[in-house]
Amino acid sequence: MPLQTVAPQRLYRQIAEQVRQLMASGEFALGSRLPAERDLAVQLGVSRPSVREALIALEVEGMIEVRTGSGIYVQRTELPNKSTPTETDANTPADWGPLEVMSARLLVEAEVAALAATHAQKADLKAIKSGLQQMKLEAARDQVPREGDEAFHEAIAQACGNSVLLDTVQRYWQARNGPLFERLGDYFEHPESWQAAIGEHQQVLLAIEAHDASAARKAMQKHLRQAHKRYSASWRRAPAR
């Protein structure tokens, strides 16, 4: 038998594969409820964010169903034809775990905001304001203000004066528009969360306008910590869809 290419797997993919195998073997029968997220994390010896990312991946595949306020149930027990991503699939932003992306953004975009506060020109400030205004308009129309959100963060990255950091932030947004992030957003994005995010964005803008690098860094850190917290909330707190 010829050797096969070994593709690296993200941790949440490894967790998802274990759960798939348990469902296929009958350990978790069709229609049964899976252990709670925190219990799975303890049993697997991994973090709850990694378990959440795995569960979201399984739901995207149609293997499980998340019923907010009730639990997570087995929807299918047969393994999908393609349970392991190819090397190319595994290295695309769309395959990045959403909560892992949020953690990376906290580290990188806080410094991007600080640099933007130092280097932003009038045109940059206009673009950042435009992104925030677009968020407000989208929210007022009861739309998820995703385009304005992306425009806001990309304008800040553009203002920082570093093309590598700009490219990095753009790749975060490629992940943000992927299926895992989209499904997670279905549960934890709602009008109240977006109004909170708009207020956090406003503080980032004010700090950059004041050319206060320290305040911009802190405001972006606060925003992204709160965003991570919103995505990590208990399933029971997620609005019913």
Query: CATH: 3.10.100.10, 1.10.10.10, 2.60.40.1180, 3.30.479.30. Which one for 11-81?
Result: 1.10.10.10
Query: CATH: 1.10.10.10, 1.10.150.120, 1.10.1040.10, 1.20.120.530. Which one for 91-233?
Result: 1.20.120.530
Residue predicted with more confidence, 105 or 67: 105
Portion of the chain with pLDDT greater than 90, in percent: 67
Burial class from Cβ neighbours inside 10 Å (0-12, 13-18, 19+) for residue 117 reads: buried
Residues 6 or more apart in contact with residue 192 via CB below 8 angstroms: none
Portion of the chain with pLDDT greater than 70, in percent: 88
Common-topology check for domains 11-81 and 91-233? no
Dist CA 48 CA 208 (whole Å) = 34
pLDDT digits (tens, 9 = 90+) for 180-221: 999 988 888 999 999 999 999 999 999 999 999 999 999 999
Per-residue pLDDT for 70 more than 50? Answer: yes
Q: Are 228 and 99 in contact (CB under 8 A)?
A: yes
Domain positions in the chain are 11-81, 91-233
Per-residue pLDDT for 82 more than 60? Answer: no
Tokens of 216: 């911009």
pLDDT class of 90 with cuts at 50, 70, 90: low
Per-residue pLDDT for 126 more than 90? Answer: yes
* H or E stretch covering 32: none
* H or E stretch covering 65: strand 64-67
Predicted structure pTM score = 0.84
Residues belonging to the chain: 241
Average pLDDT value for the chain? 89
Dist CA 109 CA 46 (whole Å) = 26
Residue 222 confidence (pLDDT) = 98
* Nearest Cα to Cα of residue 125 among 163, 148, 159: 159
